[in-house]
Amino acid sequence: MPPEATWRRFSYLELCRATNGFSENNLIGRGGIGSLYKARIGDRMEVAVKVFNLQYVRAFSSFNVECEIMKSIRHRNLIKVISSCSNEEFKALALEYMPHGSLEKYLYSSNYILDIFQRLNIMIDVASALEYLYFGYSTPVIHCDLKPSNVLLGDNMVAHLSDFGITKLLTREDQFVTQTQTPATIGYMALEYGSEGRVSTNGDVYNFGVMLMETFTGKKPTNEIFNEGMTLKHWVNDWLLISIMKIVDGSLLSREDIQFVAKEQWLITLCNNSW
């Protein structure tokens, strides 16, 4: 990054100008407690500005958590925080800009297609980020909200894990921590996390498995077909015994493909391992 981005905080006025007054034209996306804007700082640097909606009480703690976590961790598959802007009425983070947007956008838009190998590489990138968070940092970091919208794609489609607003830290002696609220996304969280408030690396790994199945099936875990006890995991498990063609994203597998048999066996192994 250019030197001017790394040695000081940005002012509200600078970010306002860089986003054209936080205009809808610069809006990249909205989340539970904030919005993300594309911004140009000076003449040559593009960044993403995450503006926290301070009407939500949780926004204050999320901003503090992200600042605390992101100032210390460094990995090629983690989003980088460049700088911040903070006062009593406004809090924002300037983040590394990801030109290809989120994995969710690519999975559910007719304008974008990810082949089987691109999807695999993206999931390997996310797994590499998680390995670093658990074993490469002084204190294990639990992300708590793994899902396609929090996986951002940079140059050469390299995946970067983002949104550390509800992240938890474990001491080396802890196997899990307990909390009263469960702000993670419904459909992705492990059962014990949702019902008991237990936060652990196992919960993240469960989230990762759900996201992996979603990535190769093209089905959200909140899809309307999953009701009355049926989940994405159970659906994959049941159909896998009958035909992989019933569950895999239609764009990934064709019987006319000369590599059909090899891809079919690989996907069966992948789905079996994911749950």
Strands (E), 179-233: 198-199
Q: Is 145 a catalytic residue?
A: yes
Strands (E), 53-184: 81-86, 91-96, 141-142, 151-153, 159-161, 168-169, 177-178
CA dist 222 → 68, 104, 129, 185, 197 (Å)? 32, 14, 25, 10, 20
The catalytic residue among 43, 115, 125, 145 is 145
CA angle 183, 209, 110 (to 5 degrees): 85
Cβ atoms of 206 and 239 closer than 8 Å: no
d(CA 99, CA 17): 20
The residues carrying an active-site annotation are: 145
